[in-house]
A = this chain, B = another copy of it.
């Protein structure tokens, strides 16, 4: 018996039929399968090569994989509340910032609702907005920085429900100090929620995180264990916001969606402050090393407050793409910004000394290859 069916035979929603079914983000494993071998250095996804605290690893091993996780994420939220000086009612834990962004967009965005972000900012946010039928409005970066004034002005112009701002920014690594953002908030239009993505803020200078009350209904802050805490594979993110907003996640979240070992690992990682401090030192040192490698090749590194560095290749996006491909051909997994003019850069995650030596060796070869076209 043969079953032939075109996709339109399934009774998808009208919105579903408009969405692309391609995998939007190509992972390094896909590239490894295509090239027939593992990368020598994995420096493209802003993972933390220094990994999680040994205490987190132990907690994950001992968590009891046969049991579902606590749907309230109580212990982790309790520790996060103490860490941030708020209550557990201010905190929701979810399957990474990606998962939380999906829930957040779902809570707010129906077909045609306006949302604002920067052109070239985090594409997964855009993916979720499109996925719920929202209309995305974009403003430009200014000098490789996201522009709070332009974002909030645009939000007012279009009546946006959500405006996305990452501080520090991905993919550029740039940042605003907290005071600048606090002042910018005065310009946020009524009824527009600021989605403040602070995935990288632990890597940033003191004062980068704005002092915003967790009771401030204008802002929801997103944090993660994927970057400073070295647990990208575990999928643990959290949001801090007004309790009336936080409780609304219970309307849509996958209550038993958290991996139990990940819950335990995140808790242990949070409490191991010495280990985190040590890793942050290694990240800062690696940023300097990447900047030096860029300078040695006559290129400028964009100052970064994250665990990666954007290197300005000094020409256009096509040139940078050739540099990127020549690095990949040499066994280095790296990525680059999507949008012009940021796509004149390549983006290198903070690696170990050995990995950055590979990069130092590969970069001049890649630049030569790119110059030849």
Contact = CB atoms under 8 A, between A and B. Distances in A.
Interface of A: 1-3, 5-7, 9-16, 19-25, 27, 29-30, 33, 42, 45, 47-52, 56-57, 60-61, 63-72, 74, 95-96, 98-99, 102, 106-110, 113, 124, 131, 161, 191, 193, 213, 215-217, 226, 230-235, 242, 244-245, 247-248, 250-252, 254-262, 265
B245 A10 contact: yes
A42 B98 CA distance: 32
Nearest to A216: B3
A137 to B, nearest CB: 16
A233 B264 CA distance: 11
Stoichiometry, copies per complex: 2
Contacts of A2: 215
Given A5-B217, A66-B232, A233-B261, A71 B247 contact: no
A99 to B, nearest CB: 5
A193 B11 CA distance: 9
Contacts of A262: 259
A187 to B, nearest CB: 17
Given A71-B25, A233-B259, A251-B21, A3 B65 contact: no
A12 B110 CA distance: 9
Tell me the dominant secondary structure on chain A's binding face. Answer: loop
A233 B71 contact: no
A67 B47 contact: yes
Contact of A252 (B10, B19, B247): B19
Contact of A25 (B24, B64, B244, B256): B256
A12 to B, nearest CB: 6
A186 to B, nearest CB: 12
A233 B248 contact: no
A64 B233 contact: yes
Contacts of A259: 233-235, 259, 261-262
Contacts of A234: 65, 259-261
13 contacts: A2-B215, A13-B107, A23-B72, A23-B250, A25-B255, A27-B71, A47-B66, A61-B61, A65-B233, A65-B234, A66-B231, A68-B232, A98-B255
A216 B10 CA distance: 12
Contacts of A42: 67
A356 to B, nearest CB: 16
Contacts of A233: 63-69, 259-261
